[in-house]
Amino acid sequence: MKKIISFLLVFAFGLSSCEKDDICDPDTPTTPRLVITFYDINNSTLRKRVNNLRVTGKDQELSVVFNESALDDTKYLTSADSIAIPLRTDTDITTYTFINNYGSTNASLVNSDEINFVYSRQNSYVSRACGFKTIFNLSAFQRTDPTGDGVWMQDIFIINPNIELENETHIKVFF
């Protein structure tokens, strides 16, 4: 009898430990974003904050949300020294427009650059609940200046072409 009870206990514990793998844990590393860190052009070791940077994907109506808690358009703006932007998982090119000093009263400060990120993709298995993730291998980028206001992102370096995790910098931008 004791044996049967102990078996039932093991059975119950077994079941209770089984249920949680149905929901994808947000802490699981899944499809990573591209992490860009900004540095001072005059002092290459010093991180520099951007000012009201707005990043919009090509042909997208909305910009990338940086501040989830803001209600108005300020949620699209960031003044941090590092940003993470999602890459397309269905094509090998993602194009973004980076507008620094967005909405500034001084129109001469507003500067817009466009960058094409070119990469190869690989779909990698994560788990039953999360399915697959896409990891990227960045091969090249092209910087253009469609608005003709000059480039504000003066130097761009690919530091880590293997985009698998978000806790490391993939691209360094000097301005």
Partner 1 sequence: MKHILKYFFSIPLLFSMFLVHAQETVKTKETAPEKPKSEIKKPAGQETATDTILPKTNRYGLRVGVDLYKLTRGFYDKDYKGVEFVGDFRLTKKYYLAAELGFEDKTTDDDRLNSTATGTYIKGGFDYNTYQNWLDMENLITIGLRGGFSTFSQQLNTYKIYNPNPYWGQQTPIVSGEKYNGLTAAWLEVAMGLKAKVFNNVFVGFGVQLKLLVSNKEPGNFENLYIPGFNRTYDGNFGVGFNYTVSYFIPLYKKKVIVPELKNVSPKK
Binding site for partner 1 (CB under 8 A): 3-4, 7, 10-11, 14-15, 17-18, 20-21, 24, 26, 30-31, 33, 57, 60, 64, 85-86, 88-90, 94, 123-134
CB-nearer residue toward partner 1: 71 or 128: 128
Judged on CB neighbours under 10 Å (0-12, 13-18, 19+), 69 is: exposed
Task: Give least dist CB 157 to partner 1, A.
Answer: 24
Distances (CA, A) of 97 to 102, 119, 157: 12, 17, 17
Residue 170 φ/ψ, nearest 5 degrees:
-100, -35
The residues near 153 (Cβ < 8 Å, ≥ 6 apart) are 98, 113, 115, 143, 173, 174, 175
Residue 105 CB, nearest approach to partner 1 (Å) = 29
Closer to partner 1 by Cβ: residue 46 or 65: 65
Kindly tell me which of 24 and 151 has the beta carbon lying closer to partner 1.
Answer: 24
Nearest approach in angstroms of CB 141 to partner 1 is: 17
Least distance CB 100 / partner 1 (angstroms):
20
Beta carbon of residue 144, minimum distance to partner 1 (angstroms, whole number) = 20
Cα–Cα distance list, 127 to 14, 25, 30 (Å): 19, 10, 10
User: Is residue 79 within 8 Å of 53, Cβ to Cβ?
Assistant: yes
d(CA 11, CA 89): 41
Q: Smaller CB distance to partner 1: residue 128 or 146?
A: 128
Nearer to partner 1, 74 or 89 (CB): 89
